Amino acid sequence: MACRKCSLHLSRKNPVPGEGPLDAELMLVGEAPGRNEDLQGRPFVGQAGKVLNALLGSIGLSRSNVYITNVVKCRPPNNRDPRPEEIRACLPFLRRQVELIRPRIIVALGRHAGKTLYEEAGLRWRGISREHGRPREAVLWGVRVVLFPTYHPAAALYKPEIRGVLEEDFKRLAGLLGGGSRGRSLLDYF
Ligand code: URA
């Protein structure tokens, strides 16, 4: 990935495109790589990644079951928020990932991913505290998906009370997995 579509290419060590099985039912989308991710070229390998691994483990999943990526593929300097023009420049990569993998469920980790994915799907974003833990059926870039926003795992590191909320949201997510007649119906959530 030799992308130079935004200025983040000037400061990155490595792009972090994402990883996971190309037939994953579940895709997780974070915000942007941090320091460790930038060094290794892999998503969620730092402290936030440890929280994410534990959350996945709590519902019987491991990283090898899911596709993990970010809205922005290169690290913003000093972990600042990605800028709108950086998100816009990077979005074609996420779009292609969704078109190719065709996940059934997309978990948006944090407000940047949530807002971006909702807007791309034509849904109104009312903020993470109102949208988290609620599955929404959507058509995203021509793919029928369930969007499931939750808090960013890093939020649990500086706000310990968020950890329990994330755990509850992941339990609800588990209820959506498995599909078919064994899984709970989406209607159970409305
Ligand atoms: N935070 C993110 O949003 N993505 C990563 O890959 C790591 C930390």
Residue 69, strand partner residues = 29
- pLDDT grade for 76, boundaries at 50, 70 and 90: very high
Residue 190 has pLDDT above 70, yes or no: no
Give a yes or no: residue 149 inside a domain. yes
Give a yes or no: residue 190 inside a domain. no
| The token pair that represents 113 in the structure block | 């991913």
Give a yes or no: residue 74 inside a domain. yes
- Which residue out of 19, 28, 35, 44 has the highest number of ligand 1 atoms within 8 Å of its CB and is therefore the one to mutate? 44
Distance (angstroms) between ligand 1 centre and the Cα of 10 equals 19
Give the Cα separation of 21 and 132 in Å (integer). 25
- pLDDT grade for 1, boundaries at 50, 70 and 90: low
Three-class DSSP labels, the chain: CCCCCCHHHHCCCCCCCCECCCCCCEEEEECCCCHHHHHHCCCCCCHHHHHHHHHHHHCCCCHHHCEEEECCCCCCHHHCCCCHHHHHHHHHHHHHHHHHHCCCEEEEECHHHHHHHHHHCCCCCCCHHHHCCCCEEEEECCEEEEEEEECCCCHHHHCCHHHHHHHHHHHHHHHHCCCCCCCCCHHHHC
Average pLDDT over residues 19-26: 97
Give a yes or no: residue 37 inside a domain. yes
Residue 183 has pLDDT above 50, yes or no: no
pLDDT at 184 (0 to 100): 45
The CATH number assigned to the domain holding 121 equals: 3.40.470.10
Distance (angstroms) between ligand 1 centre and the Cα of 112 equals 11
| Total number of domains in the chain | 1
Q: What is the mean pLDDT of the chain?
A: 94
| The token pair that represents 43 in the structure block | 């998503």
Residue 36 has pLDDT above 80, yes or no: yes
Give a yes or no: residue 3 inside a domain. no
Average pLDDT over residues 123-145: 98
Ligand 1 atom with the shortest distance to the CA of 30: 3
- pLDDT grade for 181, boundaries at 50, 70 and 90: very low
Give a yes or no: residue 166 inside a domain. yes
- Which one has a higher pLDDT value, 74 or 182? 74
Give a yes or no: residue 15 inside a domain. yes
Residue 65 has pLDDT above 80, yes or no: yes
Of 103, 112, 94, the closest CA to residue 173 belongs to 103
pTM of the model: 0.93
Distance (angstroms) between ligand 1 centre and the Cα of 158 equals 15
Q: What range does the domain containing 48 cover?
A: 10-178
Taking CB atoms and a 6 Å cutoff, what residues make up the pocket around ligand 1? 30-34, 37, 43-44, 48, 70, 154
pLDDT at 178 (0 to 100): 76
Asked whether the beta carbons of 86 and 28 are under 8 A apart, the reply is no
Q: What percent of the chain shows pLDDT beyond 90?
A: 92
Give a yes or no: residue 43 inside a domain. yes
Give the Cα separation of 8 and 56 in Å (integer). 30
Distance (angstroms) between ligand 1 centre and the Cα of 74 equals 10
